[in-house]
Amino acid sequence: PAEFLGGLQPQAPNPARMMYRLAILAAAVSAAAAMQPAAPANANSIALPNSAVVPAWGRRNSPLVQQAAQKGWEARARARATKLRARSWGVSQRAGTTMSADAPQVPRIIIAGAPASGKGTQCAMIKDSLNCVHLSTGDMLRAAVEAGTEVGKLAKGYMESGQLVPDDVIIGIVKERLAEPDCQAQGWLLDGFPRTKAQADALAEAGIVADTFLLLNVPDDELIERVVGRRLDPETGDIYHMKYSPPPTEEIAARVTQRSDDTEEKARVRLESYHKNIEAIRDSYKPILKEIDGCRSKAEVFDDVMECVGAKV
């Protein structure tokens, strides 16, 4: 009773006094229980060593309590699991889309960014964190050609003749790759594709739907500075930047080279093409578009990326 534990008057807490009173109360309860006649244990009771019987509903982890709460808990747990999975991967609520609480949800992400926006770095970090399959059109084309698939043979014909591979062939390769078991089980990250409105429309028609479209934004002036300052070590393949990540030794600095297309003039041409294409596909992914400031450190950018896809790392 409250009176026994100190009365209703507010008092400063005294741990020693409280423990003493609780000990007396426990002794009294034990004595009273010992005076009760023994009762047979049954499904609704739990037998104690002193033969007293305590109703099972008095135990939080008893079968009766669990059974009584199970029905309500199951419904709430199922709804919460569905909500968490939807939030975890940024699943859009689309007309006609249903999601089973028992079906695992995997990431389906498209990432875009101008040359030197840091897209490659973020792709590697996303892949490592989410264990999803990182896909670029170049890699998929080469893999399809090597595997000798039907669309791979079509692509090989165009590539050997020096022609651009048509969108319908590329879409066929993408669709074929995304249907493979690893993409189905782990999810996928499409790197820099689609690039045009026609490709975006073709993806939609093929039933390839992403949950999140990540767009890394970096001002053109900074992009050009990143491009122009890049240097390649021909012996190791390492890439440096003369301002942000310079070669560590004079020996390496003396042998690094600049790619022929890493000039301001060529960078501006590529940026002009990029802006034209990205504006064309922006509306196609407006409901799932997540724009991220790419002018910060890779760790800060990655934090935003993870927040956008809803993953907990």
- Active site (catalytic) residues: 119, 195, 230, 259, 270
- Cα–Cα distances in angstroms (integers) from residue 103 to residues 50, 96, 99, 100, in the given order: 49, 17, 7, 5
Is 143 buried (19+), middle (13-18) or exposed (0-12) by CB count in 10 A? middle
Distance from C-alpha of 132 to C-alpha of 305, rounded to nearest angstrom: 14
Compute the Cα dihedral for 81, 84, 86, 88 and give only its sign: negative
Best CA proximity match to 311, nearest among 150, 156, 144, 129:
129
| Beta-carbon count within 10 A of 60 CB | 8
What string of DSSP letters covers 228-261? HTEEE-TTT--EEETTTB--SSHHHHHH-B--TT
Best CA proximity match to 190, nearest among 122, 137, 253, 119:
137
Quick one: tokens of 218? 């970096």
Q: 153-191 in b/e burial notation, b at 16+ Cβ within 10 A?
A: ebbbeeeeeeeebebebbbbbbebbbeeeebeeebbbbb
| Beta-carbon count within 10 A of 261 CB | 12
